[in-house]
Amino acid sequence: EAGVAQSPRYKIIEKRQSVAFWCNPISGHATLYWYQQILGQGPKLLIQFQNNGVVDDSQLPKDRFSAERLKGVDSTLKIQPAKLEDSAVYLCASTQVRGQGETQYFGPGTRLLVL
């Protein structure tokens, strides 16, 4: 079974520029999550999708971050404009259903550095 795919793996941009990350979850997984992991911290949930609908985006900085999941499969996360404090690893995860005991499978992450 193929895992969660993310691209790019690394990105370096200047502050105020825009950047987009892509995630392809495990086939058949209905729920998709985007996390932000700042160096030395645990992942923080940014947004959760169930199929192509948003379940929770309460921690997403909506003035600069946006995310979409077209057709309930792939997802993109965008930052516009980026700030220095956005430097982090952006992790995508997916689960089959939102049920008891379902495991969240994480991708390798996209490492973003904002200069």
Partner 1 sequence: QKEVEQDPGPLSVPEGAIVSLNCTYSNSAFQYFMWYRQYSRKGPELLMYTYSSGNKEDGRFTAQVDKSSKYISLFIRDSQPSDSATYLCAMSVYNNNDMRFGAGTRLTVKP
CA distances, 5 to each of 27, 64, 79, 92, 101 (Å): 11, 24, 19, 8, 22
Question: Which residues ranging from 83 to 112 are in contact with partner 1 (CB under 8 A)?
Answer: 91, 93, 95, 98-109, 111
By CB neighbour count within 10 A (0-12 exposed, 13-18 middle, 19+ buried), where does 45 fall? middle
**x-or-dash pattern for partner 1, window 36-55, by CB under 8 A?**
----xxxxxx--x------x
62 touching partner 1, by CB under 8 A: no
Question: Which residues ranging from 2 to 41 are in contact with partner 1 (CB under 8 A)?
Answer: 4, 31, 40-41
The number of angstroms, rounded, from the C-alpha of 113 to the middle of its chain's C-alpha atoms is 16
In the complex, the residues that contact partner 1 under the rule CB under 8 A are 4, 31, 40-45, 48, 55-56, 58, 91, 93, 95, 98-109, 111
